[in-house]
Amino acid sequence: MINMTMEDFLLWVIGVPMVIIAVVSLLAGVKHYARMRSMRQQIVCCRICGYLCEDKSRNKLSKCPECGSMNERGKSRRLG
Ligand SMILES: [Zn+2]
């Protein structure tokens, strides 16, 4: 038989699962943040007409499918 105090028992029954849940939640948060960042980089907002489109290419410039102007990837700097 295993000799265990009540404190040890509570540590193993409550403390260890809480640590595991915290680590799993942290890893899921990091994965979610990375995916959201990747998705945000694929969305391009046209500076001329404001049209939002998805561009999965790695090109720095993206052509707007609505008006045909070239737009730089990154923060939206709409002119009008
Ligand atoms: Zn446009």
Give the integer Cα–Cα distance in Å for 70 and 60: 10
Within 1-48, where are the H helices? 6-10, 16-42
Per residue in 21-77, pLDDT tens?
A: 999 999 999 999 999 988 888 888 898 999 999 988 888 899 999 999 998 887 656
The residue extents of the domains of the chain are: 6-72
CA 64 to ligand 1 centroid distance, Å: 5
Residues lying with their CB under 5 A of ligand 1, a single-atom ion? 46, 48-49, 51, 64, 66-67
The residues pairing with 54 across neighbouring beta strands, listed in sequence order, are 43
**Cα separations in angstroms, 47 against 19, 25, 65:** 47, 38, 12
CA 71 to ligand 1 centroid distance, Å: 8
CA 65 to ligand 1 centroid distance, Å: 7
**Cα separations in angstroms, 27 against 12, 24, 32, 33:** 22, 5, 9, 10
CA 36 to ligand 1 centroid distance, Å: 24
